[in-house]
Structure 1
């Protein structure tokens, strides 16, 4: 369906357009025009803002579903719910577990995608683990930690039909540099996570091809003026992206503001959301771990943060309030930066001619009214 969009403003990469009509042709954004043909179909969202669809590259679960359940219906449910949150693309994310559980999780994502997701679309799978170290394990199970294995990864990639596009590991583990070189050569985004590596070890990992740090400041050695650690390497190395969870619990607002200032367009907003997202306080699981959520904060029995219950759009709103950056700039940290990190920015991440027409209609309170995927309206808020 071809049509035009009229709105009060459009959040573009480097500006805000407030006057013209935006053409949508064959599921992709066209150009802005001042007038439209008399018989043209116009989506008139006067009074609203049009923003690019958000892209959550790190999400374990939502509203009772968990990727590690190994249930294709759970992936479908996540896909549908994400639309109401302004997310049009996501990476179903695994946890460290035994081989059988990881096999099931990968197969379930493949089955769901092959059947066809009705909501937000999966752009691949994020394999978080199992190649971590114990000191900063977070909610990852150390019983399954081990050195990276190319053979094991190849098995999982074959099982996933080459859908694994991102993998996280601790670079101090034996064989990590060689492993990073290998997966990077296949187009997979090698990421650094749950690690006590030194600054120099991280730089060597980036030299080998790692280009992302997972949930900055969490699951990693902190910043010290004589040993910058993983956090210091993530902040100072301009070659690498860094993920950030902007819920106010994982990272202090002033540190989030600092990260945005330093990393700029290499900052990727994520949720790390688990199954308790959009659910009431109570008892849940993150993989094999029992989790208690109180006041919207999920923790393991030992008190460690267990993922988050954050909505990505709330992370955008939080960082916009905490920083001195425009809404458009901060919004693109949740849409364009994720796409760039995965090499998908030719099609995704911003409102630009030729890209897939993923967009969100926002009211003045930045609440999602409508969400479209590849030009097709998939969600409309009731009332």
Structure 2
């Protein structure tokens, strides 16, 4: 398979390219940007459009009426197709805190979906958000399932998943958390800190043990204080860590997003934490076992009004941070594509338009609406998924 994409501009890692207007796609991977094609080459002309790398959502529970915890191939397919329509070409299906039995059921089903393939965005593995959390910052996670980290339980889940669990979130103050982090980090599982009341020293100990990601920074964790920088401060002061941010304007205000970007730079990772109400009208939904009300663009639990994930589209998070941090589009886009890939250690395959990488790309019109998308070089008709 060989073809050329023609467009007005391409969003690269370090610039917006507008001189070379043709991009090679060779057997599902990006080739070179060139100025003049060979006469016999197949050219797909996108006119005045912008070509951007596919976005990578590393924290998403559901969308368009489907939830990962449904544990059905139908729901996984709905999520995959809906994400592709809004510019996401790779994602980590994310579980909620639940019983070991329920999590086992879901990861077994996810294994089938990952290994058989989905028709839209492509799963890059499974993200277990919990159950090793703390009640002080439980958010919309069910505390009745909270427990201390168990390598035996984790390994059983990993086996059930076919070794597709690539990321797990936990609270670093739980008993045995540090030893757990050391162990699973050596097994190439990324450890994230979240739904935690850990102080600065405990969070730092977790970082030194191998934790590298902070779950939706500032939300669900001990925040900044002038006498204890807390979990959030540990993230900001450790350059090598990655800060997830939900840039919807509700979870974190615009000025704090700007501040975080100035500190973390390309170690800021845009996520959605989207739940099943994403892309649907406002109203009553569920996130796991909790009833949720979505109103004015915000999802909150009916019981106490806690934020319950989001209904954010990742591309809107890109647009928001471009405005709030006053950065160029290519730089903002990287935070939703390349930075997530780096945080998961897969930047050699995905995350940017670069020779040899998987040809995941989206086509944007002048209003930055997604008109087309491709995964591994295969263009998808977004109207007939």
| Pairwise same-fold verdict (TM > 0.5) | yes
Residue 372 of structure 1 corresponds to: 374
CA distance in 2, matches of 1:172, 1:150: 16
Residue 311 of structure 1 corresponds to: 313
CA distance in 2, matches of 1:5, 1:282: 41
Q: Structure 1 unaligned runs (5+)?
A: none
Residue 43 of structure 1 corresponds to: 44
Q: Does the residue aligned with 2:279 lie in a helix, a strand or coil?
A: coil
Q: Does the residue aligned with 1:276 lie in a helix, a strand or coil?
A: coil
1:289: Cα distance to partner? Answer: 0.8
Q: Does the residue aligned with 1:147 lie in a helix, a strand or coil?
A: coil
Q: Does the residue aligned with 1:268 lie in a helix, a strand or coil?
A: strand
Q: Does the residue aligned with 1:233 lie in a helix, a strand or coil?
A: helix
Aligned runs of 1:1-383 on 2, under 5 Å? 1-20=1-20, 21-301=22-302, 302-380=304-382
Single out whichever of 98-107 and 45-54 deviates more from structure 2.
98-107
CA distance in 1, matches of 2:35, 2:189: 42
CA distance in 1, matches of 2:102, 2:287: 13
Aligned partners of 2:84 and 2:382 also within 8 Å: no
1:109: Cα distance to partner? Answer: 1.1
Matched length:
382
So what's the TM-score if we normalise by structure 2?
Answer: 0.98
RMSD of aligned alpha carbons: 1.0
CA distance in 1, matches of 2:286, 2:382: 31
Aligned partners of 2:114 and 2:125 also within 8 Å: no
CA distance in 1, matches of 2:139, 2:94: 15
1:99: Cα distance to partner? Answer: 1.6
Q: Structure 2 unaligned runs (5+)?
A: none
Deviations 1:129-176 (CA, angstroms, capped at 9, x unpaired): 000000000000111111000000000000000000000000000101
1:381: Cα distance to partner? Answer: 5.3
Deviation above 3 Å: which 4+ runs of structure 1?
A: 379-382
Aligned partners of 1:84 and 1:379 also within 8 Å: no
CA distance in 2, matches of 1:24, 1:239: 33
So what's the TM-score if we normalise by structure 1?
Answer: 0.98
Aligned partners of 1:199 and 1:233 also within 8 Å: yes
Q: Does the residue aligned with 2:381 lie in a helix, a strand or coil?
A: strand
Aligned partners of 2:365 and 2:371 also within 8 Å: yes
Aligned partners of 1:369 and 1:381 also within 8 Å: no
